[in-house]
């Protein structure tokens, strides 16, 4: 059987996408269970989410989706760029046309953050290409919109307006 007829590369793509979705669905379900006072159910969802993440990474490796750091940064730069130049702008227009303001905000916030990710990855790629290492510093993630800031959290999120306390250090 020649390569073009194989279904496994496609199956790995589907399985990877499905496991990634399950991971995040379960994390969101765990938050909800926690809020409803089902602590052990929350824990079960978090455990399963972690397990689905292992599956996702195994599938990704099996499909050759993890390269050198330089290659991975190149993939990240082009993926982020596609998201904020093409995918989200279209999704935002469609959500607006369909009066789905929650989706529109979710797409808009993600798109704005992808621009920031794109810049961070581009900067990192230049450093790695020069054979150097990135400076040691923390990142602060806005739990409202995903805004990603190096070094320090702002007093208010520039994208969603959340207060400093909503930023998580990575």
Binding mask 141-170 for Fe ion (x = CB under 5 A): -x-xx-x---------x-xx-x--------
| Complex with Fe ion: residue 5 or 102, whichever CB lies closer | 102
Coil, helix or strand at residue 150: strand
| Complex with Fe ion: residue 95 or 157, whichever CB lies closer | 157
- A 10 A CB-CB count for 75 gives 14
Q: Min. distance of Cβ 129 from Fe ion in angstroms? A: 21
Distance CA 113, CA 149 (A): 10
73 scored as a contact of Fe ion (CB under 5 A): no
Q: How far is CA 37 from the centre of its chain?
A: 28
Helix then strand count (H, E) for the chain reads: 5, 3
Instruction: Kindly state the helix (H) or strand (E) to which residue 90 belongs, with its residue range.
Output: helix 88-97
Question: According to CB under 5 A, which one of 42, 52, 114, 121 is a site residue for Fe ion?
Answer: 114
Site for Fe ion in 78-97 (CB under 5 A): 80
**Binding interface with Fe ion (CB under 5 A):** 80, 114, 117, 142, 144-145, 147, 157, 159-160, 162
């Amino acid at each position: 059987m020649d390569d073009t007829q194989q279904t496994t590369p496609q199956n790995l793509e589907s399985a990877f996408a499905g496991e990634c979705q399950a991971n995040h669905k379960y994390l969101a379900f765990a938050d909800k269970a926690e809020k409803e006072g089902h602590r052990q159910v929350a824990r079960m969802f978090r455990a399963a989410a972690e397990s689905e993440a292992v599956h996702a990474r195994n599938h990704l490796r099996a499909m050759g989706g993890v390269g050198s750091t330089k290659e991975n940064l190149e993939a990240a730069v082009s993926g982020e760029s596609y998201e904020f130049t093409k995918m989200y702008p279209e999704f935002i227009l469609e959500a607006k046309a369909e009066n789905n303001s929650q989706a529109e905000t979710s797409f808009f916030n993600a798109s704005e953050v992808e621009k920031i990710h794109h810049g961070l990855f581009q900067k990192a790629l230049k450093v790695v290409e020069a054979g150097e290492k990135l400076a040691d510093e923390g990142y602060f993630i806005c739990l409202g919109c995903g805004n990603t800031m190096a070094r320090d959290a702002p007093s208010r999120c520039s994208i969603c307006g959340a207060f400093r306390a909503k930023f998580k250090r990575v």
